[in-house]
């Protein structure tokens, strides 16, 4: 096995067995805090010496969550709740729930009365994020979250510790950006699924450790000659693009992901926390700088412009939108963003995705046809 | 130059279609078996078509599989998505068509095709069964009719009983309560057809309707749905007698193009 | 007594609603700038500034009630909007594209006023309208509460946006905010709110002096017009009428009030007759709904106003939302409760099952959930609804029999 494959396999192992990471942390007596999307102040968890643990649902059938959420709730929240209800997340010291979409606003109570044993920390951030009052609100409420995290951790957290955590997170973001670029340049070495797993592993492990592994991997990749094949070059967009079955179809069709605008992926790593005297203010400012996500207030649909820029910048053949079923923000964005892509002459395929689906045959047909179409 | 015989195999969710072409143009034989992927349907359709053309399997130079069960069909030289095949097939059946609406057993699709039959863009229905052949089957069962009776009943309708529910389960209970009220069965069928047409028209509008429109797939044989769709979209729709074979035909044409390239 | 004075409050309120709509058309026709506004946006701003606004949510309800919901939703779906999205939004997005609607038209806006205290769906909906019509969008972001009460950070944040909004509106419309007038509007709004509370408070009488379904029709004015003297007077008249009926033990509810229920959620406008008749024909009166007490917006000053808007239904923590229902249900002596699982509303539906369970456990009354939608008739099944209403009625009856014995 080559170095690259070995390192990818290692990250794959971490990504595909988050439970082992959780157990290992508990074994070493480190507290673990679950973090739901989107844009929670994870750095504060890290600064408090605890392990932030990403909760992005899972591909699974649910049986218990239907007692709380109606069938028309997105599968991310259905399956995240299901994991809790099944006791798979026992051991978490708390979960952070940002109330930034209508279904997320309902997660906390469903969790509280369903799971019970793990306390909920509500997170509020400003949608009017580019005005000073919005930045100040987010900063103040992140401070309130910090106070709750200090209680969970059982110790106070200094600004120096927060600044150090921010630095570690920014370094991780830089490493992820470098890896994403290296993966795009070496599609023969890194499959769409492997790319995703390497990125996603960071949600379950120490970010500093993740950075070290990614840097070694990126270095090894960049030492290799650039890929000689002629894959189709696609940009992915959406909330999640981590389905092994879907990504497997991309690989079969000779498709490379050359950049992404996916909440779980570049939504985490495209934008750093700026340096500020109050590190929590910097975290709030990052929210003001973020673009490219339907969860954010975006009256100019900067998301569409960014997508056009990304596609043109990466010389992409098209855009693949992994459309999260029952996600209001995504479903609203689809119409104007598609128009912007059409205007720019960038082909778009939207594939509906549901983590509880089990079958991807329709998606397979659509992706195959899209690939056939783009190849002419 | 010797004849190039190509075979298109469309393994659908509820039917299997097979068609044999000579030199990419002349249809030698075709067969349709009302059993789809995972059944004996595909191999029976293959045998029937070969027998009717008086050919053996090895006489066929290229076999192309398409449809829902395409990847599980053994011995295919090419495996191509049904969207590309329907585009090619519809183009062969109706050269002018720029928009193709295909309603199959599980999927509804709207395709835009170029002047050369190339697929330019497409949309598929969401996961819900409303607006697919499956929806019509469920409704036919509630009415204790065969799906093939629906078109004729539609024709005899005096009025229309609208069905508003989009959810198949709800629509079923809506139809049952209309039945209990004793409404004219034929008018009810017309309402069911209109409901499928509305869903399909929305899909076509999302793609952008460029006339002329051709319709393919099993549901195209149901004149009631076709008429409802025509009135919903305000334009005529072309339906070839071979509409249900469009996928298999497209697959055979694909095979012919590949076969003649390599020859 | 003149004919004018003889009008019932219901008629006065209906005329007032028509007048509010007509005023917006008139202003627009005079060349004034008009806006589209979210239902729980602080109406004090536009009322005080004399800026005409109309409410797409009201349009969505009215179009649904008049039978246009399905057609408009289907048009929006043709534009690419998922049928899973809010039907008010789909109707409004369809109207923005078609520029016409046979059931009801509202003047096209020069700006948008958005507030997400009821749901974040509003934000994405208004973003798309702003883009489609190329007009400015002013958002007052009111984040969902983290705890039981509204914290100082929220008050400051909302206040800053409130002030920003006034500045932007002054720029867009050329009208100036008169702060004395704002204080006056706040006072009138309090008067309306108190009268509204007094009116809906009479539901605690047995029988309730009116059918609770009337609230669905009156709340539009309660929500958007309460800053005007006409509205305050109309609500005072409504409260007087209800109190007079109650004093005589009378009711405008048709038939004998055998059972009293809480109805949770938005009405099924497209199936209003079916949902109403299914209850009324069985002697079931609606005597509790969150639209009663919760849309009162009580405050004494500007900071309290900000907090009041942060505590509207669907913006509170679950426990407070539950407490509002339980309190109202017990006070108004309900025998059962019906929960509308509204396909359009992810916020209202996301905790509905838990709300139903806890409400049942605390109050001890039977409950049922049915599937429906606020304006898209395709998500409602009459058969399902009636079956469940019948089952609920049977349980309520056996409970009453047990009490009688």
C81: distance to nearest CA of chain A, Å?
7
What percent of chain A shows pLDDT beyond 90? 94
* pLDDT at residue C28, rounded to an integer: 94
Of C74, C77, C381, which has the smallest distance from its Cβ to B170's Cβ?
C381
Q: Name the token pair of A24.
A: 């290992």
Interface test with C, best of A128, A140, A280, A300 (most C CBs within 10 A): A128
Question: Is A23 part of any domain?
Answer: no
Task: Out of A188-192, A211-215, B138-142, C188-192, pick the least confident.
Answer: B138-142
Question: Is A25 part of any domain?
Answer: no
C25 CB-contact burial (10 Å; exposed 0-12 / middle 13-18 / buried 19+): middle
Q: Let me know whether A189 and A235 are in one domain.
A: no
Beta carbons of A366 and B124 less than 8 Å apart:
yes
- Does the beta carbon of A331 lie under 8 angstroms from any beta carbon of chain B? no
Beta carbons of A68 and C121 less than 8 Å apart:
no
**Fold type of domain B96-239:** Nucleotidyltransferase; domain 5 (3.30.420)
- The yes-or-no verdict on residue B27 having pLDDT over 90 is yes
Among A157, A177, A212, residue at a domain's last position: A157
Return the higher-pLDDT residue of C38 and C402: C38
Mean predicted confidence (pLDDT) in C106-112: 97
Of B81, B118, B126, which has the smallest distance from its Cβ to A365's Cβ?
B81
B219: distance to nearest CA of chain A, Å?
19
Q: Which residues of B touch A372 (CB under 8 A)?
A: 80-81, 83-84, 119
* CATH for A183: 1.20.1270.370
Q: Which residues of B touch C78 (CB under 8 A)?
A: 201-202, 205-206
Mean predicted confidence (pLDDT) in C117-128: 98
What is the number of CB-based contacts under 8 A between chain A and chain C?
153
Mean predicted confidence (pLDDT) in B59-82: 93
Tell me: the pLDDT tens digits for B170-228? Answer: 888 888 888 888 899 999 999 999 989 988 998 898 888 999 999 999 899 999 999 99
* pLDDT at residue B129, rounded to an integer: 64
- Does the beta carbon of C97 lie under 8 angstroms from any beta carbon of chain B? no
Q: Can you list the alpha helix ranges (DSSP code H) found in C99-251?
A: 121-133, 152-173, 179-201, 213-224, 229-247
Question: Is A53 part of any domain?
Answer: yes
Question: Is A284 part of any domain?
Answer: yes
Question: Is A26 part of any domain?
Answer: no
Q: Let me know whether A282 and A261 are in one domain.
A: yes
Q: Let me know whether A223 and A238 are in one domain.
A: no
CB C59 within 8 A of CB C92: yes
* pLDDT at residue C368, rounded to an integer: 93
* pLDDT at residue B198, rounded to an integer: 87
* pLDDT at residue C4, rounded to an integer: 53
Task: Out of A297-301, B48-52, C142-146, C398-402, pick the least confident.
Answer: C398-402
- Domain containing A375 equals 230-376
* CATH for A77: 3.40.50.11890
Task: Out of B118-122, C114-118, C259-263, pick the least confident.
Answer: B118-122
Mean predicted confidence (pLDDT) in C200-209: 96
With cut-offs at 50, 70 and 90, classify the pLDDT of residue C8. Answer: very high
CB A137 within 8 A of CB C157: yes
Exposure class string for A126-135: b at 16+ Cβ within 10 A, else e: bbbbebebbb
3-class secondary structure, A238? strand
- The yes-or-no verdict on residue A302 having pLDDT over 50 is yes
Mean of pLDDT over chain A: 96
Q: Which residues of A touch B107 (CB under 8 A)?
A: 362, 365
Q: Let me know whether A149 and A244 are in one domain.
A: no
Beta carbons of A136 and C128 less than 8 Å apart:
no
Mean predicted confidence (pLDDT) in A76-82: 97
Mean predicted confidence (pLDDT) in A160-179: 98
Residue labelled with tokens 């050369």: B116
Task: Out of A104-118, B42-56, C209-223, C267-281, pick the least confident.
Answer: C209-223
- Does the beta carbon of B170 lie under 8 angstroms from any beta carbon of chain C? yes
Of C83, C377, C383, which has the smallest distance from its Cβ to B164's Cβ?
C377
A315: distance to nearest CA of chain C, Å?
27
Q: Tally the C-alpha atoms within 13 A of residue C400's C-alpha that lie toward its C-beta.
A: 13
Of B165, B174, B202, which has the smallest distance from its Cβ to C74's Cβ?
B202
- The yes-or-no verdict on residue B263 having pLDDT over 70 is no
- Does the beta carbon of C384 lie under 8 angstroms from any beta carbon of chain B? yes
With cut-offs at 50, 70 and 90, classify the pLDDT of residue B128. Answer: low
Question: Is A24 part of any domain?
Answer: no
- Euclidean distance between CA atoms A106 and A116, whole angstroms: 15
Q: Which residues of B touch A375 (CB under 8 A)?
A: none
* pLDDT at residue A375, rounded to an integer: 92
* pLDDT at residue C5, rounded to an integer: 58
Beta carbons of B177 and C383 less than 8 Å apart:
yes
Q: Which residues of B touch C69 (CB under 8 A)?
A: none
* pLDDT at residue C147, rounded to an integer: 87
Instruction: List every span in chain B annotated with CATH 3.30.420.40.
Output: 1-94+243-263, 96-239
Mean predicted confidence (pLDDT) in C243-272: 96
- Does the beta carbon of B198 lie under 8 angstroms from any beta carbon of chain C? yes
Tell me: the pLDDT tens digits for B157-166? Answer: 999 998 887 7
- Does the beta carbon of B127 lie under 8 angstroms from any beta carbon of chain A? yes
Q: Let me know whether A142 and A251 are in one domain.
A: no
Q: Which residues of A touch B119 (CB under 8 A)?
A: 369, 372-373
Q: Let me know whether A152 and A172 are in one domain.
A: no
- Euclidean distance between CA atoms B174 and B161, whole angstroms: 11
Q: Could you tell me which of A329, A223, A299, A313 has the C-alpha nearest to residue A270?
A: A313
Tell me: the pLDDT tens digits for C286-318? Answer: 999 998 777 778 899 999 999 999 999 999 999
Complex ipTM: 0.97
* pLDDT at residue B94, rounded to an integer: 94
Q: Let me know whether A176 and A235 are in one domain.
A: no
Tell me: the pLDDT tens digits for A117-129? Answer: 899 999 999 999 9
Give me the architecture of the B1-94+243-263 domain, per CATH.
Answer: 2-Layer Sandwich (3.30)
Domains along the sequence of chain C with CATH? 6-174 (3.40.50.11890)
- Interface partners of B (3+ CB pairs, < 8 Å)? A, C
- Euclidean distance between CA atoms A216 and B66, whole angstroms: 44
Q: Let me know whether A115 and A149 are in one domain.
A: yes
Q: Could you tell me which of C124, C68, C146 has the C-alpha nearest to residue C315?
A: C146
B198: distance to nearest CA of chain A, Å?
20
Of C82, C154, C347, which has the smallest distance from its Cβ to A331's Cβ?
C82
Question: Is A57 part of any domain?
Answer: yes
- Does the beta carbon of B176 lie under 8 angstroms from any beta carbon of chain C? yes
* pLDDT at residue B127, rounded to an integer: 62
* pLDDT at residue C1, rounded to an integer: 44
- Does the beta carbon of A361 lie under 8 angstroms from any beta carbon of chain B? yes
Question: Is A21 part of any domain?
Answer: no
Stated as kind and residue range, the H or E segment containing A260 is strand A255-262
Q: Let me know whether A1 and A70 are in one domain.
A: no
- Euclidean distance between CA atoms B242 and B124, whole angstroms: 22
Mean predicted confidence (pLDDT) in C188-197: 94
Total domain count, chain A: 3
Q: Which residues of C touch A102 (CB under 8 A)?
A: 119-121, 345-347, 350
Q: Name the token pair of B33.
A: 């078996």
């Amino acid at each position: 096995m080559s170095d690259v494959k070995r390192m990818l396999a290692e990250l794959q192992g971490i990504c595909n067995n988050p439970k082992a990471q959780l157990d290992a942390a508990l074994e070493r007596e480190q507290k673990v805090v679950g973090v739901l999307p989107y844009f929670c102040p994870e750095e504060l968890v890290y600064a408090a010496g605890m392990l932030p643990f990403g909760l992005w649902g899972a591909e699974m059938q649910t049986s218990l969550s239907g007692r709380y959420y109606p069938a028309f709730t997105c599968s991310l929240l259905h399956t995240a709740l299901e994991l809790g209800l099944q006791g798979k997340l026992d051991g978490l010291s708390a979960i952070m729930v940002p109330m930034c979409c209508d279904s997320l606003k309902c997660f906390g109570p469903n969790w509280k009365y369903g799971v019970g044993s793990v306390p909920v920390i509500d997170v509020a951030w400003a949608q009017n994020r580019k005005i000073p009052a919005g930045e100040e609100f987010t900063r103040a409420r992140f401070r309130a979250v910090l106070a709750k995290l200090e209680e969970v951790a059982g110790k106070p957290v200094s600004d120096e510790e927060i600044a150090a955590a921010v630095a570690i997170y920014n370094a991780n973001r830089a490493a992820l950006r470098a890896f994403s670029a290296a993966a795009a340049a070496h599609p023969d070495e890194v499959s769409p699924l492997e790319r995703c797993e390497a990125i996603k592993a960071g949600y379950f492990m120490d970010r500093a450790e993740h950075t070290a592994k990614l840097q070694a991997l990126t270095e090894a990749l960049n030492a290799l000659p650039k890929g000689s094949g002629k894959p189709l070059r696609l940009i992915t967009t959406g909330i999640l693009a981590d389905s092994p079955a879907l990504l497997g179809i991309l690989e079969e069709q000779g498709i490379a992901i050359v950049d992404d605008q996916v909440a779980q992926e570049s939504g985490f790593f495209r934008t750093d926390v700026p340096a500020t005297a109050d590190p929590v203010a910097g975290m709030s400012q990052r929210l003001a700088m973020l673009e490219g996500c339907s969860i954010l207030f975006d009256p100019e649909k900067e998301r569409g412009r960014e997508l056009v820029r990304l596609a043109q910048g990466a010389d992409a053949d098209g855009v693949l939108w992994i459309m999260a079923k029952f996600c209001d923000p995504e479903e609203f964005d689809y119409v104007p963003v598609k128009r912007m892509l059409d205007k720019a002459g960038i082909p778009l395929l939207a594939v509906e995705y549901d983590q509880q689906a089990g079958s991807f045959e329709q998606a397979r047909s659509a992706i195959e046809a899209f690939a056939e179409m783009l190849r002419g | 130059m010797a004849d190039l015989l190509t075979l298109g195999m469309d393994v659908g969710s509820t039917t299997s279609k097979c068609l044999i072409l000579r030199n990419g143009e002349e249809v030698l034989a075709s067969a349709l078996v009302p059993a789809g992927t995972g059944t004996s349907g595909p191999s029976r359709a293959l045998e029937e078509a070969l027998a009717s053309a008086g050919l053996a399997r090895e006489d066929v130079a290229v076999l192309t599989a398409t449809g829902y069960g395409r990847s599980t069909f053994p011995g295919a030289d090419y495996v191509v998505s049904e969207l590309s095949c329907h585009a090619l097939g519809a183009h062969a059946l109706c050269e002018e068509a720029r928009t193709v609406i295909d309603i199959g057993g599980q999927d509804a699709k709207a395709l835009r095709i170029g002047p050369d039959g190339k697929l330019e863009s497409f949309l598929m229905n969401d996961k819900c069964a409303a607006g697919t052949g499956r929806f019509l089957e469920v409704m036919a069962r509630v009415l204790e009719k065969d799906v093939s009776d629906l078109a004729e009943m539609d024709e005899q309708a005096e009025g229309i009983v609208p069905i508003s529910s989009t959810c198949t389960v709800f629509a079923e209970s809506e139809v049952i309560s209309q039945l209990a009220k004793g409404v004219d069965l034929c008018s009810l069928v017309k309402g069911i057809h209109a409901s499928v047409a509305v869903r399909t028209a929305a899909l076509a509008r999302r793609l952008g309707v460029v006339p002329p429109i051709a319709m393919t797939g099993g549901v195209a044989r149901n004149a009631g749905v076709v008429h409802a769709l025509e009135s919903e979209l305000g334009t005529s729709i072309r339906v070839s007698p071979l509409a249900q074979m469009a996928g298999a035909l497209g697959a055979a044409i694909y095979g012919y193009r590949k076969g003649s390239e390599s020859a | 007594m003149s004919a004018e004075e003889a009008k019932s409050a219901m008629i006065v309120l209906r005329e007032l609603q028509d007048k509010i709509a007509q005023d917006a058309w008139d202003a627009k026709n005079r060349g004034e700038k008009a806006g589209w506004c979210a239902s729980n946006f602080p109406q004090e701003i536009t009322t005080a500034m004399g800026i005409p606004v109309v409410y797409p949510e009201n349009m969505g309800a009215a179009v649904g009630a008049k039978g246009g919901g399905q057609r408009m939703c289907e048009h929006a779906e043709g534009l690419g909007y998922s049928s899973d999205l809010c039907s008010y939004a789909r109707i409004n997005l369809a109207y923005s594209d078609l520029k016409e609607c046979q059931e009801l038209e509202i003047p096209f806006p020069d700006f948008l006023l958005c507030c997400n205290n009821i749901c974040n769906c509003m934000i994405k909906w208004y973003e798309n309208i702003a883009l489609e019509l190329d007009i400015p969008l002013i958002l007052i972001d009111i984040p969902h509460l983290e705890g039981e009460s509204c914290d100082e950070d929220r008050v400051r944040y909302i206040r800053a946006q409130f002030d920003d909004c006034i500045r932007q509106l002054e720029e867009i419309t050329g009208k100036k905010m008169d702060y004395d007038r704002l204080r006056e509007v706040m006072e009138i709004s309090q008067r309306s709110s108190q009268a509204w509370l007094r009116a809906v408070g009479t539901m605690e009488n047995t029988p309730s002096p009116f059918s609770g379904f009337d609230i669905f029709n009156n709340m539009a004015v309660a929500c958007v017009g309460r800053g005007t003297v006409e509205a305050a007077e109309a609500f005072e008249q409504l409260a007087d009428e209800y109190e007079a009926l109650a004093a005589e033990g009378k009711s405008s509810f048709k038939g004998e009030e055998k059972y009293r229920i809480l109805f949770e959620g938005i009405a099924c406008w497209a199936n209003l007759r079916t949902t109403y008749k299914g209850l009324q024909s069985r002697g079931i009166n609606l005597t509790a709904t969150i639209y009663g007490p919760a849309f009162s917006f009580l405050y004494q000053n500007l900071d309290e106003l900000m907090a009041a808007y942060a505590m509207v239904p669907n913006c509170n923590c679950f426990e407070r939302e539950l407490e509002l229902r339980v309190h109202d249900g017990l006070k108004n002596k309900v025998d059962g409760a019906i929960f509308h699982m509204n396909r359009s509303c992810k916020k209202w539906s996301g905790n509905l099952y838990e709300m139903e369970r806890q409400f049942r456990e605390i109050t001890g009354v039977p409950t049922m959930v049915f599937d429906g939608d606020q304006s898209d008739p395709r998500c409602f099944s009459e058969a399902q609804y009636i079956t469940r209403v019948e089952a609920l009625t049977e349980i309520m009856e056996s409970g009453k029999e047990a009490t009688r014995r």
